[in-house]
Amino acid sequence: MNVNKKVVKKGLLPYVFLLLVMLGVVYFVSVANQKVNVLTYDEFMTSLEDKEVKEITVTPRDRAKVYEITGTLDDYAENESFFVRVPLSDQVMRKLVEASDADDFEFTSVADPESSTVLLVLVNILPIALLAFVCFWFLSKQMGGGKNSFDFGKSKAKLSSDKNKVTFKDVAGLTEEKEEVKELIDFLKNPKKFQKLGARIPKGVLLYGPPGTGKTLLARAVAGEANVPFYYISGSDFVELFVGVGASRVRDMFQQAKRTAPCLIFIDEIDAVGRQRGTGIGGGHDEREQTLNQLLTEMDGFGENEGIIIIAATNRPDVLDPALLRPGRFDRQVTVNLPDVKGREEILKVHARNKVLADGVNIPAIAKRTPGYSGADLENLLNEAALLAVRRNKDAITMSEIDEASDRVLMGPAKTSAKRSENDRKLVAYHESGHAVVGIKLKGANDVQKVTIIPRGAAGGYNMMIPSEEKICRTKTDLLEEITGLLAGRVSEEVVFGEVTTGAENDFEKATKIARAMVTEYGMSDLGPMQLEQREGSAFLGRDYAKSRNFSNEVAHEIDQEMRKIIDKCYDEATKIIKDNRNLLDLLANTLLEYETLTKEQIDYLVEHGKMPNEDEETSYEKMSLTKLKEIAKEKGIKGYTKMNKAELIKELEK
């Protein structure tokens, strides 16, 4: 087993330091417990004549012309000693030697420490050198540490190796975005073709969009396709504790890039250093603003940076300084949006290359059921499915694992061990069935993909509903029918039980938000085509904490009335649909109580045939709830079934 020596050294340092501290504490405690009596010359000579001396150690001090004598007397305790200075003379030494011979006490003579050069260095120079070393070590740690302790002004940009080379084959779902950056590749490969016609290639390209959409991956692919050096750095790597360090790092980064031009520099999360200047308490941030000023100068200042293209990524373009986005700097902005259904399918195929998928896995169907997922979300989805397949001891990933992984990503792991009363299960079943009934009966409402009463996260159950088709613009009817679908759970509770619960809290939050947007932003009410509210993004706060109000208190009252009118209309519509389709509601709820989870295919079959598919044939154990499986295991006399999970129970039942 190979162990990194540097890691071992770093791991031992704290223990060595702790050992030295402990030794120091022991030493100082022992010294503190020692009692030293300082005697005069006469007192010492009296003790010597009275034969009370037990042992002495004599140290000559030539410079001071004295002997320093330490020792003990007969009546001293174990931790007690004396110290005395006597004149440096042969007569005194003769008396000490004669007394030692006569009284037979231990006599030790030590050479003068000041006469030894090595000892002099150890005593006088070593402590100062040690203190200087400790100060230097702490300073180097603050400024970057290691052998490059004075290189804290150097750039932290790293040069990508060929091992991590990425091309457009590895980038899926970004067709238009790749077209936008292709001319950068042509310029890096053949700049003379552009210079011949007097064309100036953009010096900076800003990629912005939601997190996880592939901005960094796209930048790496540009460098990989052009086969040029690729420097990458995070925006936070520029900003340092000391003012001026960030600007120094920017200068050094461009100097390195000039030596390897043509090349690419990629700055991730540029909003960490490129935020608008002069904002915040006290007028801004000196270090960050100096760094930004240097970056602006390097990109389009007095000097020329031919052959250097900068690509930056952020998900907050609204907080960037305007000078950073003007022509000559980041004059090309590419929006990297969330992928559509075709893009998601391509991304899933890329991430499925190293996965073992079962024959029944339908990638187009997965892409259709995952609207709003980014590329990173889709990669995580397949990875979670692979982990579940390993946990279940399967040889390949099936749709069952992918469905479960999707639920885990959205809502968290299922709480299969949670004990709930039968009344609670019935309430949740009718609540979720109410959403499903309205989703089935209204064309504009979202399609029901999955219904479950298994608790996940803070929800007692949930209904996965997605749009039947992805639209850029939504009509007023679409929004009203979506609100109707959200209110259907509460309506179902009221119609069936004559009582309401707290389970519709999140439904009301979403419905209210849509209704307010219809009135104040989309102009879909009797107040007319007016935008009364507008979301504001604060460059200092960095979030959309506030909305600007362009109306009086009287109009605010009218907005509340219009919102209530929309909600009441949708609530009445949901009540009518639920009452007219009570049989379907009961069928879905009772089936949910038995199976706990229903997929879109099963719901469609129920609506058409009034029963579950293959009900007359042998029932699939995979589609049964854990409670149902335990009942069957009890009937078959399987031992230890109460401690088994669903996968183990299915394995035993299939034997």
- Residue 419 φ/ψ, nearest 5 degrees: -95, 125
3-state secondary structure of 508: helix
State the Cα torsion 326-330-332-334 to the nearest 10°: -120
Cα(76)–Cα(291) distance, rounded to whole angstroms?
A: 71
Cα(480)–Cα(299) distance, rounded to whole angstroms?
A: 50
User: Could you tell me the two tokens for 445?
Assistant: 């409402």
User: Could you tell me the two tokens for 367?
Assistant: 């892409």
Which residues face 232 on adjacent strands? Answer: 158, 266
Half-sphere exposure (CA, 13 Å, Cβ side) for 331?
Answer: 11
- Taking alpha carbons only, the member of 382, 388, 345 closest to residue 367 is 345
- Taking alpha carbons only, the member of 148, 184, 178 closest to residue 265 is 184
Cα(586)–Cα(591) distance, rounded to whole angstroms?
A: 8
Which residues face 157 on adjacent strands? Answer: none
Which residues face 109 on adjacent strands? Answer: 58
- Taking alpha carbons only, the member of 420, 352, 424, 419 closest to residue 389 is 352
180 is annotated as an active-site residue: no
3-state secondary structure of 41: helix
Cα(611)–Cα(603) distance, rounded to whole angstroms?
A: 9
The single residue of 432, 482, 573, 596 carrying the catalytic annotation is: 432
- Taking alpha carbons only, the member of 343, 272, 332, 269 closest to residue 299 is 332
Q: Which residues are catalytic?
A: 432
